[in-house]
Amino acid sequence: MSANFANYRPARKLGVSRLLPNQAAPQYSADMATKFLYMDEQYIDPDTHRNGERSGRKKFVSLTGLLIPTDVHKTFRSRYYKAVGKALDVLNGFPELPVIHASKLFPDHSDDVKYQFLEEVVQICADLDFRVIRVGYYATPQLISVFNFNNPQKILNLCFSSMLHCIEDELTQNEIWPVMETDNSSHQDRIFAGLIQATDYISAVIGTGPLSINNENLGELHYSTKRSAYGTVTDCISYLLDAGSSVASLGAIASPFKQKLAEIAANLVPLTAFNEIIEMKFEIPPRGYIAKGPLRYAFPIATDGGQ
């Protein structure tokens, strides 16, 4: 943690509790389900965006999560790979399966094939009761300066912590295991696995009192690769949500392709628990503000005896 970061206090500190000391921890019950939280990060910089979408958008970093029940795998696997086979037009063969990435989706196929595949992905998510969470932060000069986020990837610290706050209700009812596509970097490992490791240590050695993240039912972080079907679906959902945001900000100047993606993304609304890119406010929250959900405020910590 940088010195700059240490001198500022988020309205809900990263890992610091608002829970009462005598608040009962959630107990495991027979109704508790196990879910995976697959995640996909996204960096949007209008100055370098490949589609040249400079107008009306600001630089931000976001994290999209997909809450996936573990008891639907057989159905998911069947429907997902049938959708892939249909897109590749080889339902009865044994193709060399590509790495499927939303921004480079089936490059040798028509846009209609891409639309149909993405529509099927959204329908699978709806039918299998997946839940979508997307939280991000605008990379404002103040955010970068105060928290010493000289690398946009560092903003994922805020995104991941806020995502865990956004699924608080799920964590009281279900056991959740976060999963991230690995980039094989130590920095990514510190952001994701490091946060889980720190909260696990505190809860085991010190107790849950100092924690704001309820980790009672939060499992360790796992890593996947680019060939994960669930990871691909999460990437597609992230891509669609950003298309929706892009069209909302660009309006009529958005390309017909992007507008069609936004139409498909609209079908995600019933599945979406949270979807917001936040501009962090560096001030004391207004009176009556309830620090629930993502981090929105940060303010200096007094160092002169509170004067």
Over residues 127-161, the pLDDT tens digits come to: 999 999 999 999 999 999 988 888 888 999 999 99
**Does position 41 have pLDDT exceeding 90, yes or no?**
yes
Residue 52's pLDDT band (boundaries 50, 70, 90)?
very low
Query: Cα dist. 225→77, 221, 231, 262, 299 in Å?
Result: 16, 14, 8, 27, 38
**Does position 170 have pLDDT exceeding 50, yes or no?**
yes
Q: Residue 212 has what pLDDT?
A: 82
Q: Residue 252 has what pLDDT?
A: 63
Q: Residue 304 has what pLDDT?
A: 54
Q: Residue 12 has what pLDDT?
A: 52
Residue 1's pLDDT band (boundaries 50, 70, 90)?
very low
- Top mean-pLDDT range of 27-36, 82-91, 171-180: 171-180
Residue 114's pLDDT band (boundaries 50, 70, 90)?
very high
For residues 35 and 150, give the distance between their C-alpha atoms in angstroms, rounded to a whole number: 34
**Does position 179 have pLDDT exceeding 90, yes or no?**
yes
222-224 and 60-69 strand pairing: unpaired
Q: pLDDT (tens digit, 9 = 90+) per residue, 71-86?
A: 999 999 999 999 999 9
The larger pLDDT score, comparing residue 184 to residue 51, is at: 184
